[in-house]
Amino acid sequence: MKTGHGRETMKIEVRNLSKRFGPVEAVSNVTFGVREGELLGLLGPSGSGKTTVLRIIAGLETPTSGDIFIDGVRVNELSVQQRNIGFVFQHYALFKHMTVFANVAFGLTVKKWSRPDIKQRVEDLLQLMGLERMGDRYPHQLSGGQRQRVAIARALAPRPSVLLLDEPFGAVDAQVRQELREWLIRLHDDLDVTSLFVTHDQEEAMEVSDRLIVFAKGRLEQVGSPAEVYEEPATEFVARFIGSMNILDAEVKSGVARVGTLEFPAPQFQDGHHVHIGFRPYYVKVSDDATRFRQQARLRHVYFLGVSYRLEIETDTGLILRSRMNKEEFRQCRFEVGRPVSYAITHFRILPQESSPQAMPHVPLAGPFTP
């Protein structure tokens, strides 16, 4: 995967990083950079190695091989205490026997700040976090969202050069999570501290990140802006993991990949080559008028999703495809489950085949979808 972003200065650089736990390679040969002031998301399913990468950057874990640079300085030999990073743990990891004030002040006390300076800094941070009157409380007296903010305040207090967050919203319930996400984006805009966060929630990653890095099985799959990753998935894994995607298996013949009656131009591939064709549900246009589009199918299911509808159609050749349309489009048609419809695919991508054949699930026609 390409990660070189010109000569611009990188706040954090990870080079050829690998980490083994016994026989398991949790991280294999990962290289990427985090730009100054950026909010970067590390996205991947659980067990994909993203948290390990974060912990190695922090110095909480030692890499098997590879280098970490912060502000251009190689920090491999520096202990976690010397790296000047702020780390926010998934389950807050607040000091339960200390008040909110003492929690936030901890890093400053350790660094021997003067008492008035500590008081000033902690009060400023508590105000910034909307925790003004919470200084005397103990962690168990706070809500999940408040604890999370205390954890962030504590990490920010000693003015770290970078902020690392491990599943920052993993432990709060869905309603608070949305609020916290928006709050984190605003906070990041205000503070301008380079931040790297880990998440398994693709929606969260897309919403919060300036750029994101997709991980799978310890390898880096793609680096890019949320829009790039969504619209131009670099690998089949990314296509399946981010959003919902129809994936078809096709064979190329004279520059065209054919699946049943569907034809996808694929001039760059030779005859007999197997490719995967991917297209998002909203690129599948469906009409109740059987003559509107060239391709014919039968409507199998209609799912109401609130702001939109998802349609499941079965083509004449037995493919099952997913389509998505908004309410207006849906109301213009008179859909009835079981009736014939016509459809067209307006946009598609040819996904690179994964190198190892056994790594690819061999689903014959219509691919399964990410939830």
Partner 1 sequence: MARRLLIGLVWLYFMGLLVGPIGYLCVQAFEGGAAAFWHEITRPEALHGFSLTIQITAIVLVVNVIFGTITALVLVRQRFMGQTIMSGLIDLPFAVSPVITGFMLILLFGPGTILGTFFGEADIKVLYALPAMILVTLFVTFPFVVRELTPVLQTIGTDSEEAARTLGASEWVVFLKVTLPAIRWGVIYGATLTVARSIGEFGAILVVSGNVLMLTQTATMHIYQSYVDFNYLGAYAVAVALLAVSFLILIVLELAKTRVTAVARVGAAS
96 versus 331: smaller Cβ distance to partner 1: 96
For residue 24, what is the enclosing H or E element?
strand 24-35
| Structure token digits, residue 144 | 């999940």
The residue (of 49 and 86) whose beta carbon lies closer to partner 1 is 86
Least distance to partner 1, CB of residue 153, Å: 12
Least CB distance to partner 1 at residue 111 (A): 6
Handedness of CA 77, 81, 85, 88 (dihedral sign): positive
Q: Rounded to the nearest whole angstrom, what is the least distance from the CB of residue 176 to partner 1 in the complex?
A: 15
> Tokens representing 285?
């246009």
Q: Is 107 in the site for partner 1 (CB under 8 A)?
A: yes
For residues 324 to 353, the per-residue mask of contacts with partner 1, x marking binding by CB under 8 A and - elsewhere, is ------------------------------
Which member of 10, 12, 58, 214 binds partner 1 (CB under 8 A)? 58
Nearest distance in Å: CB 22, partner 1: 11
Residue 151 or 248 having the CB closest to partner 1: 151
Contact track, partner 1, 60-99, x by CB under 8 A: x------------------xxx-xxxxx-x-xxxxxxx--
Looking at beta carbons only, is 78 or 350 nearer to partner 1?
78
Measured from the CB atom, the residue of 151 and 247 that comes closer to partner 1 is 151
With respect to partner 1, which residue has the nearer C-beta, 166 or 312? 166
Q: Which two tokens stand for residue 176?
A: 């608070």
Report the chain's C-alpha Rg in angstroms: 25
Considering only residues 126 to 185 of the shown chain, the ones binding partner 1 according to CB under 8 A are: 139-140, 151, 154-155, 157-158
| CA–CA gap between residue 188 and residue 193 (Å, rounded) | 6
Rounded least distance, CB 110 to partner 1, Å: 5
Question: Which among 321, 316, 310 is positioned nearest to 340, based on CA atoms?
Answer: 316
The residue to which tokens 């805009």 are assigned: 189
CB of 2 to partner 1, least distance (A): 31
Query: Which residue, 43 or 54, has its beta carbon nearer to partner 1?
Result: 54
Tokens of 69: 């640079």
In the complex, the smallest distance separating the C-beta of residue 75 from partner 1, rounded to whole angstroms, is 13
Asked if residue 160 lies in contact with residue 86, where contact means CB atoms within 8 angstroms, the answer is yes
What b/e readout covers 143-182, taking b as 16+ CB neighbours within 10 angstroms?
eebbbbbbbbbbbbbbebebbbbbbbbeebeeebbeebbe
Tokens of 337: 């489950």
Q: Are 57 and 74 in contact (CB under 8 A)?
A: no
Six-digit token pair at 246?
A: 């129809």
DSSP letter, residue 352: P
Which positions lie near partner 1, rule CB under 8 A?
58-60, 79-81, 83-87, 89, 91-97, 106-107, 110-111, 139-140, 151, 154-155, 157-158
